[in-house]
Structure 1
Amino acid sequence: MTKFEIRGVRADVLIGAEKREEILKGVDLTINSGETHAIMGPNGSGKSTLAYAIAGHPRYEITEGEVLLDGENVLEMSVDERARAGLFLAMQYPVEVPGVSMSNFLRSSVTAVRGEAPKLRAFSKELQETMGNLSIDSSFASRGVNEGFSGGEKKRHEILQLELLKPSMAILDETDSGLDVDALKVVSSGINRARAANDMGVMLITHYTRVLNYIQADYVHVFAGGRVAESGGPELADTLESEGYERFVKAGAAK
């Protein structure tokens, strides 16, 4: 039983060499094994800042609070240690890594997380099966990581990593953005498979309710003003769809 706890987290974004701005202003959230928590909110509310700060991006500095994964404070770990502990981040804008093939990148990642190199033949079979499930052509295994990929292909590659690395806690930063309906269904199916196979907890950051038609959220949290403004069940997403974020933004500004 995995428990992921964000306790009183405040964080700054570093702007240039000396300037900084506080974005997160006291975030509290707990996610247990097998639960999916949708984080919704307007642009600039701090959703992506929360994701990158937890993952250890150098531009974001957590100034207060703690982030616990099964009681261990991940903020005291290096970025690679966080990954080995079971934390995974799917990025909103996956980067290209020219000259490094997908297959080599993925096998190296799996080796680092699992603690030993998988047998080449077994890994090749696992990779091809997982790529097939995500409708990724087998020729992509020899291409540079995300090099020349479309937006949808990059997002499928993120979920390919998710399925192979088998984390206990996944943070998915707008994985649904830029996807057409067919790609959204494929990506959502991959997330659902990974969650079911590993009893994985999911923090699903999104602007839109359409992804929740394919990924069932147990809880929905509205992010505004750098904090969780309101939490509820899946029905809260329907309220946001019909009413928007305005009242939450106003409430956050008043605090």
Structure 2
Amino acid sequence: MSTLEIRDLQVSVKLPDGELKPILTGVDLTVRSGETHAIMGPNGSGKSTLAYAVAGHPKYEITGGSVTLDGEDVLALSVDERARAGLFLAMQYPVEVPGVSVANFLRTAKTAIDGEAPKLRTWAGELRGAMERLHMDPAFAQRNVNEGFSGGEKKRHEIVQLKLLKPKIAILDETDSGLDVDALRVVSEGVNQVRDTGDTGLLLITHYTRILRYIKPDFVHVFVGGRIVEEGGPELADKLEDEGYERYAAGAGSARA
């Protein structure tokens, strides 16, 4: 079993004038293999900042606290080292990579993560199977990464990566953003297949409860003003659906995602 431990994490972003603006003001969170944690909160609460800070985005400066994965200091690692250690980030807005095919991208990523290239014969079958389970035409493997993909196709490709790379901890940043009902159902099925292996812990960031109708969280954390202000089980998501975030507004502060 793997464990991601975030303790008193404080993160700032550098403004154009060089000033540091605090975003996260002390986050404590533990995610273990097989667990699904939903982080919910209004716009500007710092949810995406948490995702990108843990993944190692250079825009964000860690000003306090710690992040460890199985006891290893994540914050001391480069972005690629964090990926090899077992962290995965599915981005809210996946980028296009012209000139690099999906097949080459995924095999190169798998080689970098595992330290050796997968065998071509078995790899081709794994890739085809993962794409078909996400209802992606295998012909997409020969297209450039995300180039000309619809929003739903980009998100399906993110989950194909998740299934093939098999991380210890996966952070899914608003995976439901821009998806219609059919695409949301397919993407959620893919995430559930990964979760059901018991090998990966999921940190699911979302504004809304609709994805939680398909991906049942074990824990729900309400994120406001750069910190977690309430925690509970899946029933907390239903409460948020009924009541919204208004009652937390007083603690919102000035955080921005």
Counterpart AA for 2:193 = R
Q: In the TM superposition, what whole-angstrom CA distance separates every residue of 1:173-205 from its partner, at most 9, and x where no partner exists?
A: 000111111111110111111122252101000
CA contact (8 A) 2:45 2:252 kept: no
SS of the aligned residue for 1:222 comes to: strand
The match for 1:243 is 243
Q: Does 1:216 align with 2:216?
A: yes
User: Which residue identity is paired with 1:156?
Assistant: R
Q: Partners of 2:63 and 2:110 in 1: how far apart?
A: 32
For 2:62, the equivalent position in structure 1 comes to 62
Distance 1:243 1:195 in 2: 29
SS of residue in 2 equivalent to 1:197? coil
Contact 1:84–1:112 (CA under 8 A) maintained in structure 2: yes
Deviates more, 1:66-75 or 1:11-20: 11-20
Residue type of the alignment partner of 2:92 = Q
1:92 and 2:92 equivalent? yes
Counterpart Cα distance in 2 of 1:29 and 1:246:
23
Structure of greater relative contact order (alpha carbons < 8 Å, 6+ residues apart): 2
List alignment gaps of at least 5 residues for structure 1.
none
Measured after TM superposition, the shift of residue 17 of structure 1 is 6.0
Aligned length: 254
Matches within 5 A, 1:80-119: 80-119=80-119
Aligned AA for 1:197?
T
TM-score normalized by the length of structure 1: 0.97
* Residue type at the aligned position of 2:30: T
The one-character-per-residue Cα deviations of 1:118-169 (angstroms, maximum 9, x if unpaired) are 1112111110010000001111101110001011110001001000000010
Q: Please give the per-residue CA displacement for 1:51-94, whole angstroms capped at 9, x wherever unaligned.
A: 00000001011110110111111001111110011100000000
1:17-64 alpha-carbon deviations (Å, 9 max, x no partner) = 623311000000111111101000000000000000000001011110
Structure 2 CA distance for aligned equivalents of residues 72 and 168 of structure 1: 13
Name segments (4+ residues, structure 1) moved above 4 Å.
Answer: none
Q: 1:16: how far off?
A: 2.7
**Structure 1 vs Structure 2 CA RMSD:** 1.2
**Contact 2:3/2:32 (<8 A) preserved:** yes
* AA matched with 2:28: D
- Show CA shifts across 1:98-129 (max 9, x none): 00000000000000001100111211111001
Residue 167 of structure 2 corresponds to which residue in structure 1? 167
Structure 1 residues 251 and 17: alpha-carbon distance in aligned structure 2, compared to 1, 3 A threshold? closer
Could you tell me which amino acid in structure 1 is paired with residue 217 of structure 2?
Answer: A
Distance 1:149 1:178 in 2: 13
Distance 2:20 2:147 in 1: 32
